[in-house]
Amino acid sequence: MLRMSTLFVRTLRDDPADAELPSHRLLVRAGYVRRAAPGIYSWLPLGHRVLRNVERVVREEMDAIGAQEVHFPALLPREPYEASNRWTEYGDNIFRLKDRKGADYLLGPTHEEMFTLLVKDLCSSYKDLPLFLYQIQTKYRDEPRPRAGILRGREFVMKDSYSFDISDEAFAVSYAAHRDAYVRIFERLGLRYVVVKAMSGAMGGSASEEFLAVAPNGEDTYARSLGGYAANVEAVRVVAPEPLPYDDAPAAHVEETPDTPTIETLVAVANAKLPRDDRRWTAADTLKNVLVVLRHPGGQRETVAIGLPGDREVDLKRLQAQVEPAEVEPFTEDDFAVHPGLVKGYLGPQALGTESATGVRYLVDPRVVAGTRWVTGANEHGRHVFDLVAGRDFTPDGVIEAAEVRAGDPAPDGSGPLQLARGTEMGHIFQLGRRFADALGLQVLDQNGRLVTVTMGSYGVGVSRAVAAIIETSHDERGIVWPREVAPADVHLVATGKDPAVLAAAERIAAGLADAGVEVLFDDRPKVSPGVKFTDAELIGVPTIVVIGRNLAEGVVEVRDRASGDRQDVPVDDAVVRVAAVVRG
Amino acid sequence: MLRMSTLFVRTLRDDPADAELPSHRLLVRAGYVRRAAPGIYSWLPLGHRVLRNVERVVREEMDAIGAQEVHFPALLPREPYEASNRWTEYGDNIFRLKDRKGADYLLGPTHEEMFTLLVKDLCSSYKDLPLFLYQIQTKYRDEPRPRAGILRGREFVMKDSYSFDISDEAFAVSYAAHRDAYVRIFERLGLRYVVVKAMSGAMGGSASEEFLAVAPNGEDTYARSLGGYAANVEAVRVVAPEPLPYDDAPAAHVEETPDTPTIETLVAVANAKLPRDDRRWTAADTLKNVLVVLRHPGGQRETVAIGLPGDREVDLKRLQAQVEPAEVEPFTEDDFAVHPGLVKGYLGPQALGTESATGVRYLVDPRVVAGTRWVTGANEHGRHVFDLVAGRDFTPDGVIEAAEVRAGDPAPDGSGPLQLARGTEMGHIFQLGRRFADALGLQVLDQNGRLVTVTMGSYGVGVSRAVAAIIETSHDERGIVWPREVAPADVHLVATGKDPAVLAAAERIAAGLADAGVEVLFDDRPKVSPGVKFTDAELIGVPTIVVIGRNLAEGVVEVRDRASGDRQDVPVDDAVVRVAAVVRG
């Protein structure tokens, strides 16, 4: 039993200044966590209980699919990560340090290399497979912008598991087992979630799926169609149209378009000076060329131009996901100064490409197929070129998925128009293939005595993040509304007033519930007003609130449901049995 | 139920090359841990189960004294440790790192500063005290010589708790509660232990006690008397004798003592050339002066001379404990070259001391009291001085406890002669006083509305270390012998032979035991010989081994006690009930 009189908690009436999200505000106000450094939090007793409840759910579901729990160090030697190239690929996103002897270490963001090496150490035969290993562990990432409290911290708790299989067919079974376990985990945690195709990022591998908690202020945007397509927008693939014939296309012609540094001004001038016969010019007729700089691991900077229809913006997250491990940086005035061949505001394909005078790599949106005709910059101030035909007048260096995805865009699988929504990444499951096993030499003997490279999967759940995500899903203006499975207690028992009979009855009921195996948070504070106690109870968010006060004179206590607000009077003598029944559902 | 056929374990027949201690050898051989880097280990499924069992024992006993569990980050900002001066005092013993913005962090070795700040944040009144908080957490120390497997790692699991009290009297109660909890923890873990006075080291504070597991190859040496004195030798205080009168002492006289650079040669020459009337000269008549260098935090090096009776050696660990946070380094030939006034082998007090020509600080053993007469170096090659009287002919700069403690030395409290033994530090409890509360401004209002500084204690248990220490206490030549409380399973069930009836009976008994709540490790491997299975079972060390094999034909199974080796036949139909009874004691 927890007693409010001695519990290490202090609820706050005001929101913390740095908190934008409900989960961040409520976790701090209700005394679940405290900030220790940017993106680094301490868990107070109530928060620690919720965190451990989430761990328990995850552990039970991992155990249920036969995964075995282990525990790896967080402080890891450089060498295995060097072998997989992730020491470099992670860039600034991992914490690195040296020991007293000058040896290099990192704080583990995820442990593919270490698990691969351990399995290599212990396993030698197909008979040892399939093998699922997992750990629930503190992980580290040096996020550039830690925000949102524990939702995106730099030190956080993660469940990471790894599967090892002899073949792709066997792996498919292992992957499905994990996917099913994740469905059960997120159901039990009471999260509204979607499963979407995702980008694999630094993990590599062939494919991955994310479990996103649906959240209007989530960091991720996903697209889905009524026909069943679902993907993180970073992973959406635009369907390239068929190439168009261009035999009858007029030759490209340069026109004076003074003062048209933007798409909007260009379209206006084109319609005024060079009107079309069939319809008006729109932004979709223009080819916008955007310069960015890619900073590659190791530090070298590369200028890249991205060509896309002028009615779309570059989506920096989509671009970033394509160019990882490089990082995208803005192309600055200083960069223009170095490249006199690049004319700001009037950039066109003919001055772009590795074969051009500027040598700038030129990548275009998949919609820019051969035969499409464009209005675009003529690489001279105040001039644009019309009827510039892709495949005739210019040939890009390649294609890139960097244009924004918009609601109504067709799903790539033909399943209908896309809708967009936001979510928070709660789980990510990766088909790693043989990337790590190859890099670190994990092979076993198959049924025929031949050495084969093991096929791996890796599977993460954000355990500490789930505590926040659950609140994003489940709170109201008065506080947190915990799902029963993770609540810090089953019952919040409030004794009001100063009547010794009330206090005695409350003590009796609290003890009775505790004996019945119910976790009780008992507000036994003698000098605190009923109003403050109720406010605290609603803020803290235990699913069932039992009030013992004036109505004891009528022989009843009140049982409130935190989520619905329903109130019910229960005879005091039945209170323990009735409340225990509510708790057990 | 764990099945050997799928368990992620691989037992080894041979000892690992780098393992000196039984616990290290057995943990690796039996597949409990694997080394990931120097002093950094991964826990395999069996090891993880034992580790969690130790955690459970510690958690239950901490909860029982009303301590509340929290969880702090391991990655900590520099500032609080700067305020307490420990950022500097820890020297090379902590891991330091910078984040992507260049801010300084450390990996927490212990969390006094963070707990002090959190309590300052949440508590404001004497009514909030006493308060006990604890965490079970991964900690980091950059040990200069990580050794002995998980017994002295650089990443390890510790339980650290902290008490907060309004007064010294209240603190005494809190300290006693923790001390009692520790007694229960170590009893339950099955450790043979002693509680000894200890040095507080970087923790500061007024006093501390260590719980040492008795271990012949332990890193710590402790001294105890039959009368009840017990202390880590680092903490033993030599009782200074009363000063002696020296009015009738002859004047000091320098003598030729060629080729006497050691105490042994000096005593021989003295007895040969300058024999005493009453008895022979012994090493105890000589005053040995030992030079060392102290490297202070910040880096400056200071030469110090230590004077002690010639029949005793300097104990480097006792010396180190006295000079912390400085580190002791050898005085080298290069150092002699810099100090021509220090004559190697013939060093005497008259060339030592901050007032002397050399300026070298001179500290002496407490036995070197005023009036004691010494044979010692004359600061000239081949010469010693006789009848040099402390307090008359030389005055040291101070006293230091650096001489070795020997069996038979008197206990400082007069409780009889000391015996020496070795142990491993398993717990350390500190009376911190107000060091941290002062440094970080932790004050609360007392009953009279006055601000008072809080009195603190801190209390550590080496959780991962305990796993090794238990094995040091409890193993034999065949393997580990787990106490029931921490064993990775209750029963190791071995099915031998290929008879399908045996395997079916074993499956039935395994399932029956599992249903009865007994944790079973079931050796169901079909193609492994009985000999290998028995060897593995004894190596792994589960307390009860049940063998189902040929004797099934006679209707019995064999129940073995791992510790005693006792064997008992039990009717197969009673097996579940009988074995469950053994498990429950």
pLDDT (tens digit per residue) in A3-12: 999 999 999 9
A476-487 average pLDDT score? 97
Is B248 within a domain? no
Task: Based on the fold, state whether residues A268 and A354 are members of the same structural domain.
Answer: yes
B53-60 average pLDDT score? 98
The full DSSP string for B405-464 is: P-TTPBPTTSS-BEEEEEEEEEEEEEEEETHHHHHHT-EEE-TTS-EEEPEEEEEEEEHH
Q: For residue A525, give the chain B residue with the closest CA.
A: B127
Query: What are A357's two structure tokens?
Result: 């005078």
Asked whether the beta carbons of B447 and B413 are under 8 A apart, the reply is: no
> Which residue among A10, A97, A123 sits closest to B95, beta carbon to beta carbon?
A97
Q: Which residues of B touch A99 (CB under 8 A)?
A: 95, 142, 154
Q: For residue B126, give the chain A residue with the closest CA.
A: A6
Is A409 within a domain? no
Task: Based on the fold, state whether residues A285 and A391 are members of the same structural domain.
Answer: yes
Residue A574 pLDDT class (50, 70, 90 cuts): very high
B169-187 average pLDDT score? 97
- pLDDT at position B573 is 95
Residue A204 pLDDT class (50, 70, 90 cuts): low
Task: Based on the fold, state whether residues A318 and A430 are members of the same structural domain.
Answer: no
- pLDDT at position A129 is 96
CB A43 to CB B74 under 8 A? no
Q: Which residues of A touch B7 (CB under 8 A)?
A: 68
CB A75 to CB B107 under 8 A? yes
Is B229 within a domain? no
- pLDDT at position B478 is 96
CA distance A39 to chain B (A): 10
Length reported for chain B: 585
CB B73 to CB A121 under 8 A? no
Task: Based on the fold, state whether residues A281 and A383 are members of the same structural domain.
Answer: yes
> Which residue among B37, B71, B122 sits closest to A10, beta carbon to beta carbon?
B122
In chain A, % of residues over pLDDT 90: 90
CA distance B417 to chain A (A): 41
Is B223 within a domain? no
Alpha helices in B240-327 (DSSP H): 263-273, 316-323
Task: Based on the fold, state whether residues A289 and A215 are members of the same structural domain.
Answer: no
Q: For residue B10, give the chain A residue with the closest CA.
A: A122
Q: For residue B133, give the chain A residue with the closest CA.
A: A8
Distance CA A534, CA A540 (A): 10
Q: Which residues of B touch A159 (CB under 8 A)?
A: none
- pLDDT at position A202 is 64
CA distance A321 to chain B (A): 21
CB B66 to CB A95 under 8 A? no
Q: For residue B68, give the chain A residue with the closest CA.
A: A45
A113-127 average pLDDT score? 96
> Which residue among A6, A43, A92 sits closest to B71, beta carbon to beta carbon?
A43
CATH code for the domain of B553: 3.40.50.800
CB B45 to CB A138 under 8 A? no
With the C-alpha atoms ordered A284, A289, A295, A296, is the resulting torsion angle positive or negative? Answer: positive
CB B114 to CB A68 under 8 A? no
pTM score: 0.91
In the predicted model, is pLDDT for residue B202 greater than 70?
no
Q: Which residues of B touch A37 (CB under 8 A)?
A: 73, 75-77, 105
Burial pattern B92-120, b for ≥16 Cβ within 10 A else e, equals: ebbbbbebeeeeebbbbbbbbbbbbbbbb
Task: Based on the fold, state whether residues A496 and A468 are members of the same structural domain.
Answer: no
Is B237 within a domain? no
> Which residue among A10, A95, A144 sits closest to B97, beta carbon to beta carbon?
A95
In the predicted model, is pLDDT for residue B241 greater than 70?
yes
Is B93 within a domain? yes
Q: Which residues of B touch A131 (CB under 8 A)?
A: 8
Task: Based on the fold, state whether residues B281 and B199 are members of the same structural domain.
Answer: no
CB A42 to CB B131 under 8 A? no
Task: Based on the fold, state whether residues A296 and A333 are members of the same structural domain.
Answer: yes
Domain count for chain A, please give it.
3
In the predicted model, is pLDDT for residue A217 greater than 90?
no
Per-residue pLDDT of B372-430, as tens digits, reads: 999 999 999 999 999 999 999 999 999 999 999 999 999 999 999 999 999 999 999 99
Q: Which phi and psi (to 5°) does residue A334 adopt? A: -60, -35
CB A73 to CB B37 under 8 A? yes
Task: Based on the fold, state whether residues A80 and A200 are members of the same structural domain.
Answer: yes
Q: Which has the minimum average pLDDT: A128-137, B69-78, B331-340?
A: B331-340
Distance CA A506, CA A496 (A): 9
Residue B333 CB neighbour total at 10 angstroms = 8
- pLDDT at position A205 is 63
B503-530 average pLDDT score? 96
Residue B205 pLDDT class (50, 70, 90 cuts): low
Q: What is the dihedral of CA B479, B482, B488, B489, to 10 degrees?
A: 100
Average pLDDT, chain B: 94
Q: For residue B47, give the chain A residue with the closest CA.
A: A70
Residue A91 pLDDT class (50, 70, 90 cuts): confident
CB B7 to CB A140 under 8 A? no
In the predicted model, is pLDDT for residue B204 greater than 70?
no
CA distance A217 to chain B (A): 26
CB B8 to CB A70 under 8 A? yes
CATH code for the domain of A79: 3.30.930.10
CB B118 to CB A42 under 8 A? yes
Q: Which residues of B touch A129 (CB under 8 A)?
A: none
- From B81, B218, B237, B235, select the one nearest B151 (Cα to Cα): B218
Q: 3-state DSSP: chain B helix, strand, coil percent, rounded to 5?
A: 30, 30, 40
Residue A396 CB neighbour total at 10 angstroms = 20
Residue A96 pLDDT class (50, 70, 90 cuts): very high
Q: Which residues of B touch A6 (CB under 8 A)?
A: 66
Is A35 within a domain? no
- pLDDT at position A297 is 81
Q: Which residues of A touch B43 (CB under 8 A)?
A: 70-72
CA A41 to chain centroid: 19
Q: For residue B119, give the chain A residue with the closest CA.
A: A8
Identify the residue among B2, B3, B70 best suited for mutation to test binding to A, counting A beta carbons within 10 A and taking the highest.
Answer: B70
CATH code for the domain of A360: 3.90.960.10
In the predicted model, is pLDDT for residue A298 greater than 90?
no
CB A74 to CB B74 under 8 A? yes
Residue A535 pLDDT class (50, 70, 90 cuts): very high
In the predicted model, is pLDDT for residue A216 greater than 80?
yes
CB B70 to CB A36 under 8 A? no
- pLDDT at position A148 is 80
Domain boundary among A399, A434, A454: A399
> Which residue among B8, B42, B131 sits closest to A73, beta carbon to beta carbon?
B42
Residue B20 pLDDT class (50, 70, 90 cuts): confident
- pLDDT at position B239 is 87
Q: For the purposes of burial, counting CB atoms within 10 Å of the CB of A154, is it exposed (0-12), middle (13-18) or buried (19 or more)?
A: buried
Domain boundary among A399, A433, A453: A399
Identify the residue among B12, B40, B98, B155 best suited for mutation to test binding to A, counting A beta carbons within 10 A and taking the highest.
Answer: B40
Is B413 within a domain? no
SS3 label, residue B52 = helix
Q: For residue B157, give the chain A residue with the closest CA.
A: A73
Task: Based on the fold, state whether residues A85 and A217 are members of the same structural domain.
Answer: yes
- pLDDT at position B429 is 95
- pLDDT at position A144 is 85
> Which residue among B6, B44, B92 sits closest to A70, beta carbon to beta carbon?
B44
Q: Which residues of B touch A71 (CB under 8 A)?
A: 42-43, 47-48, 51
Domain extent, residue B533, equals 489-584
CB A76 to CB B37 under 8 A? yes
CB A100 to CB B74 under 8 A? no
Q: For residue A47, give the chain B residue with the closest CA.
A: B70
Q: For residue A164, give the chain B residue with the closest CA.
A: B8
A431-441 average pLDDT score? 93
Distance CA A345, CA B358 (A): 78
Asked whether the beta carbons of A329 and A296 are under 8 A apart, the reply is: no
Task: Based on the fold, state whether residues A209 and A289 are members of the same structural domain.
Answer: no
CB B131 to CB A8 under 8 A? yes
> Which residue among B6, B48, B131 sits closest to A71, beta carbon to beta carbon?
B48
> Bridge-partner residues for A225, per DSSP?
A418
> Which residue among B68, B70, B99 sits closest to A142, beta carbon to beta carbon?
B99
> Bridge-partner residues for B459, per DSSP?
B161, B429
A5-34 average pLDDT score? 93
> Which residue among B48, B114, B131 sits closest to A70, beta carbon to beta carbon?
B48
- pLDDT at position B144 is 85
ipTM of the complex: 0.91
What letter represents residue A238's amino acid?
Answer: V
Query: What are B528's two structure tokens?
Result: 């492994």
> Which residue among B43, B74, B99 sits closest to A71, beta carbon to beta carbon?
B43
- From A57, A16, A59, select the one nearest A150 (Cα to Cα): A16
Average pLDDT, chain A: 94
Distance CA A378, CA A393 (A): 12
Task: Based on the fold, state whether residues B285 and B368 are members of the same structural domain.
Answer: yes
Q: Which residues of A touch B54 (CB under 8 A)?
A: none
